[in-house]
Amino acid sequence: MRITSAIFLWVTVLAAATASSQTQDTLDIYVIDVEGGEATLFVAPSGESMLVDTGWPGFDGRDADRIAAAAQDAGVTRIDHLLVTHFHTDHMGGSAQLADRLPIVNYLDHGTTVDEGARPRAAFDRYVTLRRDASHRTVAPGDLVPIDGLDVHIIAADGAVLTTALPGAGQPNAHCEDFPFHGADILSRYGDAEDQRSVSAVIGFGQFRTVIMGDLTWNKEHPLMCPTNNIGTVDLYLVSHHGSDTSGSDALVQALEPRVAVMNNGPGKGGGPGTFERLGRVPSLEDLWQNHYAVGSADANQPEAFIANLQHFEGSDDDAAVHLDAAYWTHIAATRDGSFTVTNSRNGFSRRYAPRGGR
């Protein structure tokens, strides 16, 4: 009995030591392939998690399964904070299926949908039923999301944007001159009533900074970034609006000075040629990673090593590809000194980016 106890104690200590040695002081970000929707998982070193958007509904729970797989890889057993950027189906439609797989503790969003019609209202009502039984908070620009070890600042919500600069920001933005506002033709074509109300956030971890915008529209970027840049610079730009040409103006992407961009596009959604062109003009940008090959921008796609999912098809801009085979995410592991590593889970290709000086 004494020997058995001693062996048990030794195994327990060894297991604890092994687990401790495997624990890394990193912010882990999973840009999850949900076929042109949006789902990005942030996991702090404490294990506390924030998921931004839940992808599409239907498809036998395809997107919820993909999010759950990323959560399992990260050691996450619940979603502590679900931040729904806006109430389009590709961003909040998968919430109910996800809640069947992982407990969701706190719901964060901009309040109420402005979309009309039976289908969008029904989808929103299903989401409201979920958040009614949990903790819910309507966020506004300037709010903080309390996550142990991270600085999460809300910079846009419900059509309002941050009007006072974040610490270290507030410099004049030279790219605001002759800002080309999108006209009624573009706005009506893309139906941006919900998009322009997207919740957007800056996430800081030590010297590392990233930004996630949801589908915040081009015209809404102007009061956020002009005449002064209220965000400052970032290391990682999680490309706005799936890489659609209706977001990601020069006034935004040039002033952010990102070192790396990750685009959560689908094969037939987002990844617009104008987005590739504008990102290509950013002097600070070292690499662009894609979650999907972009069919409509074939000549602009990055080398295959930087693309997580290569399968593609000819589809409409609004098509949610019915891919039920393997899907791969893009993983970012950031450290407090501002360095970070990006990995393509399809091929294991990885690149490390050293700390940025001067911040």
Give dist(CA 174, CA 151) in Å, integer: 27
Strand intervals (E) in the chain: 27-31, 40-43, 49-52, 79-83, 104-109, 135-138, 144-145, 151-157, 160-161, 171-172, 200-205, 208-212, 228-229, 236-238, 260-263, 287-290, 330-334, 340-344, 350-353
34 lies in some domain: yes
The alpha-helical segments, DSSP class H, found in the chain are 2-22, 62-73, 89-92, 95-99, 118-132, 184-190, 218-225, 250-256, 273-280
Closest residue by Cα to residue 301 from 265, 348, 344, 349? 265
pLDDT of residue 313 exceeding 90, the answer is no
**Residue 83's pLDDT band (boundaries 50, 70, 90)?**
very high
Share of the chain above pLDDT 70, in %: 87
The residue with greater pLDDT, 58 or 192, is 58
Question: Strand 40-43 and strand 144-145: pairing?
Answer: unpaired
Query: Is there a contact between 327 and 317 (Cβ–Cβ < 8 Å)?
Result: no
In terms of residue numbers, what domain contains 311?
Answer: 25-353
The CATH number that applies at residue 265 is 3.60.15.10
At residue 193, the pLDDT reads 87
Specify if 273 maps to a domain: yes
Q: Is the pLDDT of residue 194 over 60?
A: yes
pLDDT higher than 50, residue 5: no
Q: Is residue 184 part of a domain?
A: yes
The encoded tokens of residue 241 equal: 């609006």
Nearest of 29, 35, 30 to residue 242 by alpha carbon = 35
Q: Please indicate, yes or no, if residue 17 is contained in any of the structural domains.
A: no
pLDDT tens-digit readout, 316-355: 444 444 454 679 999 999 999 999 999 999 999 999 999 9
Percent of the chain with pLDDT over 90: 81
> What integer pLDDT is reported at residue 295 of this predicted model?
92
Is 154 a member of any domain? yes
Statement: residue 171 has pLDDT above 60: yes
Q: Identify whether 348 is part of a domain.
A: yes
Is pLDDT at 189 greater than 90 in this prediction?
Answer: no
Other beta carbons less than 10 A from residue 305's beta carbon: 13
Question: What local confidence, expressed as pLDDT, does residue 24 receive?
Answer: 72
pLDDT higher than threshold 50 for residue 64? yes
Q: Provide the domain count of the chain.
A: 1
pTM over 0.75: yes
What pLDDT is stored for residue 183 in this prediction? 80
> Which range has the worst mean pLDDT, 27-41, 71-85, 183-197, 212-226?
183-197
Answer whether residue 182 is part of any domain.
Answer: yes
Residue 1 lies in a domain: no
Separation between Cα atoms, residue 243 and residue 253, nearest integer Å: 12
Residue linked to tokens 């009533």: 193
- Among the ranges given (7-11, 241-245, 318-322, 339-343), the one the predictor scored with the smallest mean pLDDT: 7-11
d(CA 274, CA 277): 5
Q: Give the strand pairing for 151-157 and 200-205.
A: antiparallel
